[in-house]
Copies of this chain bind each other. A is one copy, B any other.
């Protein structure tokens, strides 16, 4: 907010979270386009001795959101200099809580997308050569859902299983049956990933435990696939348990929806990037990736796109460098200039694009 103070922006902060929204008004009769940069760090220790390492123990910017924030401020400064050329308003959305707290959802509820015609976000990644840009129309990132299953049997002594009702083989059958669901009922070209990441039952070698716990995640880039897998977890767990005279308690926690880029805005972004960077540094993604983003909520409200910006540090190999969410994650700061330019150029292009929609 300090770095925005001298720019004559309409700035307001959030009620439900530490969000900042700043409007740069060019032509007040023109459309509004939104640029988003998320701000939150991750609860993990930074593993390096660099002078700019995190000063807060156990917390670090392992997902590049500090770069997002800085680039978005940079874009605000760049665009503010050419306010007169703006055929509308550019809204800068500084968002907290992307890492599992749905900050974007809170900001939408407080009006950040009201009156907005187009939206754009950048996410940096060390796994792309520095200064490269990539995106795609349609699904770009996955939905996430988490599940927890408690298979409830009856405990007893390991030597007399018939007096107990052993939940361990039954939990194992649930794991197996879920694989079969995925291979048999999910369209191979509208894929879903279901991973049981945690299984836990029993404490010793002579006692049959009362319960077995399964936990995991569901990823999909298609709403129908997502709904199918979510329903399958419930159906498979409860019926497999019933097959063995047990109960399964299933808890499903809905995460972010699929991040779906507007086809035209993704194409526009690729064009703008190509104009800025030349064709060799612009990559149309051949398929989505199974990560997730709460910018998906913004894209449910407003046509727009998200793009990856490569920030592989000098000398490193993008295929093997420490990725986002590693505690040794680093970025090439020189690529931030590219990010600032991309934000600004996409904003200008989006204003034109949005303007074409409007009644003259």
- A interface list, Cβ under 8 A from B: 142, 146, 158-162, 164-166, 168-173, 175-177, 179-209, 212, 215-217, 219, 235-236, 238-240, 242-245, 286-292
Contact = CB atoms under 8 A, between A and B. Distances in A.
Nearest to A215: B205
A199 B198 contact: no
A242 B239 contact: yes
B242 A189 contact: no
B184 A196 contact: no
Given A199-B212, A205-B217, A243-B243, A191 B188 contact: yes
A188 B290 contact: yes
A185 B202 contact: no
Contact of A200 (B165, B172, B200): B200
Contacts of A215: 202, 205
Chain A binding surface, main DSSP class: mixed
Nearest to A239: B243
B199 A206 contact: no
Copies of this chain, whole number: 4
A186 B165 CA distance: 11
A243 B233 CA distance: 9
B198 A201 contact: yes
Nearest to A216: B205
A179 B183 contact: yes
Contact of A189 (B183, B199, B212, B288): B288
A42 B290 CA distance: 42
A245 B239 CA distance: 10
A283 B176 CA distance: 39
Nearest to A195: B158
